[in-house]
Amino acid sequence: MSNHLKTAFRWGLGSFVLTCTAMAGIQLNAQAIAGHNSRAPVDVGADRIEAQDRQNRVVLSGNVDITQAGLRLRAARTIVDLGGGNTTEIQRITATGGVQVTRGDESASGDVAVYDFNRRIITMAGNVRLRRGSDTLNGGRLVIDLASGVSSVDGRASGSSSVTGSGNEGSGGRVTGRFSVPQN
């Protein structure tokens, strides 16, 4: 098995919660990020919004706050790529600067994030932390597939995605985590 596969920690968020419920007494939570409705309308807010019509994009900067059906993305700056022609449908959001994505009691943070609306995938890179309740996973790259409900955390911020970050130097390229156990 390659080092990349050894450092990859993969699970389906829905089955992860169910497994932890059975094994560790964690309460099932239907608010997981992977259960998100990626087809709902998107609301945006920022200190500054600049429409770049020729590039079919909108740049938001300063305390960016984007919400969609219970999912919240906060960052210092985002670029919202829109469909060409007469459509203003969002194709992709690229966020940088202390990116935080939250839904219910689950949160993910990292240096950079890309939310691809066509593929229904959120990719975060650079000092990634995924938290559900008191359980945490740390790594270099997180990929959340909203369509399948499968997420993966890799030790390094590399791979076929266009999202790269500063990695996870503190853990030597490994995925680390902490899970709670029953206190009975």
Which residues, other chains included, contact 85 with Cβ-Cβ below 8 Å and sequence gap of 6+?
Answer: none
- For the entire predicted model, the pTM comes to 0.73
List the domain boundaries for the chain.
Answer: 3-33+42-177
Residue 86 has pLDDT above 80, yes or no: no
Residue 77 has pLDDT above 90, yes or no: yes
Report the pLDDT value the prediction gives residue 172, as an integer from 0 to 100. 62
Q: What is the second-level CATH architecture of the domain 3-33+42-177?
A: Sandwich (2.60)
**Of 111, 114, 106, 116, whose CA–CA distance to 128 is shortest?**
111
DSSP assigned state of 13: H
* Mean pLDDT across 9-34: 36
Q: Decide: 181 and 24 in contact? Cβ < 8 Å.
A: yes
- Selection from 20-29, 76-85, 93-102, 137-146 with the highest mean pLDDT: 93-102
Report the pLDDT value the prediction gives residue 160, as an integer from 0 to 100. 43
Burial class of residue 48 (count of CB atoms within 10 Å of its CB; 0-12, 13-18, 19+): exposed
Report the pLDDT value the prediction gives residue 157, as an integer from 0 to 100. 64
